[in-house]
Amino acid sequence: MQVKINDNIILVGTAHISKDSVKEVKEVIEKYKPDIVAVELCKRRYEAITKKDKWENTPITSLLKSNNAYLMLAQTFLSSIQRRLGKEYGVEPGSEMIAAMNEAKRHDIEVALVDRDISVTLKRAWKKMGVREKFRLTWEFMKAILGYDEEELEDLDLKELMDQDVISAMLEEFGNIAPSVATVLIHERDEYIAKKILSESEKGKIVAVVGAGHINGIKNNLEKKKLDVDLNELEYVPKKRFSILKTVGYVIPVVFVALIVYLFLTGGVGKAADALIMWFLINGGLSALGTAIARGHPFSIATAFVAAPLTSLNPAIAAGWVAGYVEFKLRKPVVKDFQNLSKVDSFKDFFNNRVIRLLMVVALANLGSMIGTFIALPYILSLGFTG
């Protein structure tokens, strides 16, 4: 799909899993002989395509941080779906972007990366979500990972998926799970890409290769008489002065200690001990269950069981970090695991890859501990009202 905005800007809307798109990109660049070829990639995703060994240098601390674990799992999961669909069409996802860059190199044409950093996009989405939406998103994502069945892919709308990249697919899912941010972020991204294209076009004729799903939004922005978009504002990740989740994290240990003291004063050592035992069993048990579902090492499962009841009372550390560290020491990912991240395209691959297993241990141990906390606290509170 080609859209000529003016003599200086030509948009090429592509399907990310299509041989026809690869061919079209080459033909358009050959026909218009632009001064610049723009691609719908950010630096991070550009490096993922051009630097296959980038994962090998990833610090292990980055994998253990829970937010990073969710982000990396999401990207890997959605990329794996595109790769599987790509096999059916005989083309790697993103091949049209690679073709555009290769064609530009062949003609000695400048390449411009015009998409916003994926981490900025997802962080802005996370900041805009309410607590309920965050819990729902986390839960839905984990269900998707654990319920990932190759046969279910047959029910997907292949044409729709072909018109989208990883971020677009993710934001579309946000539409149902977190409606407060989805529309805004889709518009933001269209505005961002349009502004970058417009800025690059000041240097000369530009051919911009973007996903077909973005064509209309980008076109509408470029056709405005004045595109009043501040890129710095769209790249800024707001820091909330007040975070409900962080506040809850600090309130939980206070409430827990107060409840134990109250039970001790009103019911004696026996009732306080019962409360402590149930806290450990529920919180530790669910965190250990999460680690087991991730197929963590038995020692990692045991670590999650012991650590979760304690880390839940310390906002500075998470059960998944501790269990993940043990998993890393016992099943240290090797270079091959990092290299194979770009080849994961089945449910079996998810659990056979040590990097992904490590991410799953971190994420599910944290999720189990979080659920355990919100089950155990009301239970302990109920003990104070029983005889």
Q: What is the pLDDT of residue 309?
A: 93
Q: What is the pLDDT of residue 386?
A: 66
Tell the burial category of 44 from Cβ atoms under 10 Å away from its Cβ (0-12, 13-18, 19+).
middle
CA distances from 143 to 98, 287, 294, 320 (A): 33, 16, 12, 18
Side-chain-facing half-sphere of 331: CA atoms under 13 Å: 20
Three-class DSSP category at 38: strand
Q: What is the pLDDT of residue 288?
A: 95
Question: How far apart, in whole angstroms, are the C-alpha atoms of residue 324 and residue 81?
Answer: 26
DSSP string, 108-137: T-EEEE-SPPHHHHHHHHHHHS-HHHHHHH
Q: How far is CA 163 from the centre of its chain?
A: 19
Four-CA torsion 151, 152, 154, 155, nearest 10 degrees: 160
> What type of residue sits at position 50?
T
Q: What is the pLDDT of residue 9?
A: 92
Residues of the chain with pLDDT under 70: 16-18, 48-93, 137-138, 140-177, 180, 183-184, 240-246, 334-351, 384-387
Tell the burial category of 290 from Cβ atoms under 10 Å away from its Cβ (0-12, 13-18, 19+).
buried
Question: pLDDT tens digit string along 108-148?
Answer: 999 999 999 887 887 787 777 777 777 776 676 666 555 55
Cβ-contact 112, 39 below 8 angstroms: yes
**82: number of Cβ within 10 Å:** 21
Q: What is the pLDDT of residue 122?
A: 76
Four-CA torsion 246, 249, 254, 255, nearest 10 degrees: 110
Tell the burial category of 126 from Cβ atoms under 10 Å away from its Cβ (0-12, 13-18, 19+).
middle
Question: pLDDT tens digit string along 264-292?
Answer: 888 888 888 988 999 999 999 999 999 99
